[in-house]
Structure 1
Amino acid sequence: MSFSEAELEKKLAELIELHQVPGAQLAVLDGDTLTEVAAGVVSLRTGAPATTDALFLPGSIGKLYTATLVLMLADEDLVDLDRPVRTYLPDFEVRDPHARDTVTVRDLLRHTSGFDGDVFIDTGRGDDALPRYMDEIRDLPQICEPGKIWSYSNSGFAILGRLVEVVGDTVFETALRERLLDPLGLQHSVVFPEEALLHPMAVGHVPDPEDPESLVVTPQWGLYRSCGPMGASLVASAGDVLRFVQLHLDGGVAADGTRLLSAETVAAAQVPQISLVDDTVLGEAWGLGWILDHFGDVGVIGHDGNSLGQNAFMRVAPDQRFGFCLQTNVESAMTMYRELAAWLFEDRLGVAPRQDPEPLATQAVADPARYVGTYQREGVAIEVTGAPDGSLLASLVISREGADTQDLPPMDDLPLVAVARDDSFLLKLPIADSELLAVFFNPDDASAAPSYLHFGGRAHQRVSA
């Protein structure tokens, strides 16, 4: 039996009050029924109410739109996913020549390029934003060889966006609008801030630097145009996100009967490409753009998104044609998402999202030297040290500059909570509302000393013991 609008409104209102979220939007798909509700306000500054037609920043959920554009080009035989990116972008450069020449389109879609990926650079508002971004990442370093491990890469999707431009002879936002938003009839989805101004619109909220217990409106609304294919271009309602997802549930056919993707490509995108190491919060594997998971015995696809002071989540069970999109205007709403997902899926399908491993009774680690050391990626270093009681601590140093790293609190000597899973710990950052799984691993030899620390979807390479 489908959830009623009143039930969903009541639950959403309860959750935003419990988790101190200013406003949120929820869309639930059940069969062919799409129910949309909202609660709270879109801005603490104005007090304007959140509505179902308000536009939020879905963040990286927009990567699914970029992936879909690439898959459309593949359907048209304009792109071969297993050819090197340089086939289509001859000027593509990264620091490592081997990676430059061998990274494939598939590697970018499934986040296995092996190069660092959180580069957010303002290259202007012009149509040359992505070409200029490509010039800026020519020295992007490798953390491993292509295809070896999974590590989330925002830059990889900017490169895919540039591929869409070159192969399609257009600019990314035009391709997004003309190939997806317009054919799907998405009336509450836009690609530029000036278009969003014509709609009710949510702003992000972050802790007040002078009073961390209070929230203030973000000093910057969204990320730069160069970050568009990473998800920054998309501004949409939760309902429109699910209307986009329906394209993939309906075998590539739009609501008006127009075929945009082949059924074979839609199915292939949902086939696991690589397993995840930190597999509790995100999922168990990655497809061609999709997070792939199981809630109990139910297969689930989805994606999450963060923007400046906004956090969104989407999970759908394709076979059962059931799922939801939650959009919030705070920077971290993981706990709220988990409670909502459990409530919806347990009630409707009798299954729940996977849970983190349980903390161990004793936190003393048998062999601290196995883990102690420095793990880093571009702009981020994690220093793991031993505590007097035998437990482990982690300190994070963020050296890269950007709109997403302003006014960060100190992140020193944070407990790594040992759990009932080998080489795994829970780590909670002061900027997050929930613990995340941190996994030490060695892709060459699981029994050897870890060579990487996976946390927050990113692999950090061990550089010292």
Structure 2
Amino acid sequence: MRRRQFILLAGVTGIVPPEVRSSTVQESGRFDEIAKLISAKMAEHHIPGVAFGVLKNGQITARGFGVTNVDDPQPVTPETVFPIASISKTVAATALMTRVRQGRVDLKSPVRRYLPEFRVQDEIVSREVMLWHLLTHTPGWEGQLTAEDRGTDTLNFFTAGLRDLPQLASPGSVWSYNNAGFGVAGRVIEVVTGKSIHEALRELVFAPLGMSRAFSRTGEAMTYRFAVGHRQQQGQPAVIRPFDLSTNVTAGGVATTLADLLRYAAFHLGDGIGAQGKLVLSRALLEQMRTAQLRKNCTDDEMGIGWQLRRINGVLTAAHGGTLGGHCLHLQLVPDRNLAFAILTNHTDGWRLIQDVERATLRSYEGLALKPNQPIGHRGVNEAMTAHATPLTKQPSLEAYVGRYRRPPVGTVEVREQDGKLVVTNQTGGETSNTTIVFYGPDVAYAIAGSYTGMPMEFVRNQSGTVGWIRINGRIAKKADI
């Protein structure tokens, strides 16, 4: 059974409350064409449910597709709750920027200004690492760490548990996707507000922006119609059980509806005025969040404050994706074109639909398209190179890349030469994958066979010009002999 429902919400700062529904609207032809693509990709990749919406010039058009749960099928609508996973990082950054506005937080101050007991293994890093490093994924330590559920003490215990964490790179030198850093940022939010992260996000972001169905506790989110995660099993989508929102709330623990997520996007494209007509952030601070702080080594992508930045045909996009418990999600802003859109899916292969829908939306609404060999970086959800990507006619000497790379405490990566190509063996989290890669530019490669087919990888050089790191799915591993 598949029912579809859509709504139109008008106004960038005066968005209608969530109880308002409309059953019919005059939708643009381009939205309908993308809707057809979504239905086709859902069938191709066996994705049970999708929510998709576009904000263009203050008008929001949104639609649900498919079902929330193959075992208990309810129609997905724009009011269905999805976990937004790592899109939560932009929420955390927004919350911190409200404290910047009040003069209570300085992003270029050391973390120890707010957390005097903070430490990692390297004492100099412990003293000098800044909030800015946390929000730009550049603290230099391993980031794929889990926060044990300790209730309202979770982030406090998590931050204290980083004291033996070694450096993979010096702060600010190498971009590497980092959940742990955002956990520390969440603890800073708790300290400067005197509230739990759940209370702080509600008071600083959800309530001021009118996001009445935004949650950071599983027990709250599950009381509404919720899209559960699925994986492919024996050729069919199967529910993933159990499910919990991430306990590292600021790295990936928020859940909300498509309607509320588009309200959030409207705020970020607007003038900083919230749903109650009060100033939440200045326009200058919103623009600062979308201003490049650094370039992601080896790629054309850049990093803002919380937002992942990419220029497509010279036009800035600010985006963030997420993956959690059988869900793949994506939110994107195109500020200069007054455009935003969100794609929420409830299947581990949802990223395949997301990348096709993202590219179709940019092309249809704005005439924008990635260049075939444009070096792209990780943005929180899997993404493959375009179908038109081509390897270098003459591949580089492979010797410089061969070796063992380490990601303490989560795993290792082995790179070896085989039949004139590089084979990458990635051992993390108790799982092993083998991938054959080819280079499409200097130090940038993509997989042509194996577990990451189509996905880019990068080799980052150190100051002496030798290969120091491999970056897979946005995370670095350090070469063992440097």
Q: With structure 2 as the length reference, what TM-score do the two structures score? A: 0.86
8 Å CA contact retained: 2:52, 2:63: yes
Name the residue aligned to 2:390. 359
1:27-426 equivalences in 2 (<5 Å): 27-124=53-150, 126-208=151-233, 211=234, 213-225=235-247, 227-232=248-253, 234-277=254-297, 279=299, 284-356=301-373, 358-360=389-391, 365-378=395-408, 379-387=410-418, 389-399=419-429, 408=431, 410-412=432-434, 414-419=435-440, 421-426=441-446
2:458 counterpart of 1:439: yes
* DSSP-derived class of the 2:112 partner: helix
Q: What 5-or-longer segments of structure 1 have no aligned partner?
A: 401-407
**1:40-73 Cα shifts (integer Å, max 9, x gaps):** 1211222222222111111100100100111111
8 Å CA contact retained: 2:85, 2:246: no
In structure 2, distance between residues paired with 1:247 and 1:120: 31
CA 1:238 to 1:194, structure 2 compared with 1: closer, same or farther past 3 Å? same
Identity over aligned residues, as a percent? 27
In structure 1, distance between residues paired with 2:179 and 2:321: 13
**1:193-227 Cα shifts (integer Å, max 9, x gaps):** 1211221101111233xx4x4432112313442x1
8 Å CA contact retained: 1:441, 1:451: yes
AA of the residue aligned to 1:305 = G
AA of the residue aligned to 2:182 = F
Give the aligned length.
Answer: 441
Mean Cα displacement is larger for which, 17-26 or 6-15?
6-15
* DSSP-derived class of the 1:127 partner: helix
AA of the residue aligned to 1:176 = L
In structure 1, distance between residues paired with 2:136 and 2:197: 20
Q: With structure 1 as the length reference, what TM-score do the two structures score? A: 0.89
Name the residue aligned to 1:463. 480
In structure 2, distance between residues paired with 1:291 and 1:366: 29
CA 1:296 to 1:361, structure 2 compared with 1: closer, same or farther past 3 Å? closer
AA of the residue aligned to 2:438 = V
In structure 2, distance between residues paired with 1:309 and 1:140: 29
8 Å CA contact retained: 1:122, 1:224: no
Mean Cα displacement is larger for which, 260-269 or 81-90?
260-269
**1:103-129 Cα shifts (integer Å, max 9, x gaps):** 0111111111111111113233x2111
**1:260-281 Cα shifts (integer Å, max 9, x gaps):** 01222112111111101353xx
8 Å CA contact retained: 2:38, 2:353: no
CA shift for structure 1 position 161? 0.6
CA 1:88 to 1:3, structure 2 compared with 1: closer, same or farther past 3 Å? farther
In structure 2, distance between residues paired with 1:450 and 1:5: 45
* DSSP-derived class of the 2:116 partner: coil
CA shift for structure 1 position 191? 2.0
8 Å CA contact retained: 2:469, 2:477: yes
AA of the residue aligned to 1:288 = I
In structure 2, distance between residues paired with 1:356 and 1:43: 38
CA 1:224 to 1:426, structure 2 compared with 1: closer, same or farther past 3 Å? same
RMSD, aligned CA: 2.1
AA of the residue aligned to 1:349 = E
In structure 1, distance between residues paired with 2:156 and 2:246: 14
CA shift for structure 1 position 335? 2.8
CA 1:58 to 1:131, structure 2 compared with 1: closer, same or farther past 3 Å? same
In structure 2, distance between residues paired with 1:334 and 1:276: 21
Q: What 5-or-longer segments of structure 2 have no aligned partner?
A: 1-26, 375-388
8 Å CA contact retained: 1:359, 1:417: no
